[in-house]
Structure 1
């Protein structure tokens, strides 16, 4: 009878441990989706009137203030990793993909100013995301990440110009 109680107690303990919060595997964190305007802003005064610009294009004060606020909040700090949409001054997507701060680490797409796809491919990490260059946000494409797999290049009209195949950053085939 004592052996049966001990076995029952052991089974209960194992069951409790396996199905309690302590015994569960933590879920994989979801990556955030972040939109960020990659613009250089400036303002000047001409004949007493303030002129606002983003990437050399004239913008209104509302948009200028939005860009300034975005830069102060720096959404890229939260990109560890994230799916990033990089936008221009006209809110058009210029780049998108898997990023860690400002470093492409997976799927990557780049667009022409007319919105047509320019490049699509995938980056592969050379270093783990815990590497100091990743943590500091050092622009290290080609050092931290390399092209891998199929890369496609398009004209501004949407026509496929060429396809390249990479393996660990080395061009295999054009």
Structure 2
């Protein structure tokens, strides 16, 4: 069994090929040379961080299928400063257009020491930003971004730091290691 932990950079697709695009976009094949592994779940092109890849179908299902409720922790840079009420709403679950989310763990954190994002996020002198750690146990399309927007704090940068017991600790952006 092979398990690859990859620190996916911003603007990279979570697949090995880019079919149907008139321009060539970066894919996993630009970074990973480990034959036979496939992503266990997805990470949007405009998100960064931990992507797990494996050649084991059962492990892939356990990681990706929401019925297993594997916790995924994101470090999220948001616009503004979420107050206690916004964090409480995230913790109890927020209503989205596809229904309420499950309760999440949410807390303000100090800005993490991360690699620079290319391109950098937009900075607005008149609007502060804050980092929060958000742990969810489901994986709807663009869920974290929709959750922070629902409590009035749009996401500026999104980094998946942890999936289950696996973390990005020690893995530079654009690099991978075997677990």
State the TM-score bracket (shorter-chain normalisation): under 0.3
TM-score by length of 2: 0.25
TM-score by length of 1: 0.25
More strand by share: 1
More helix by share: 1
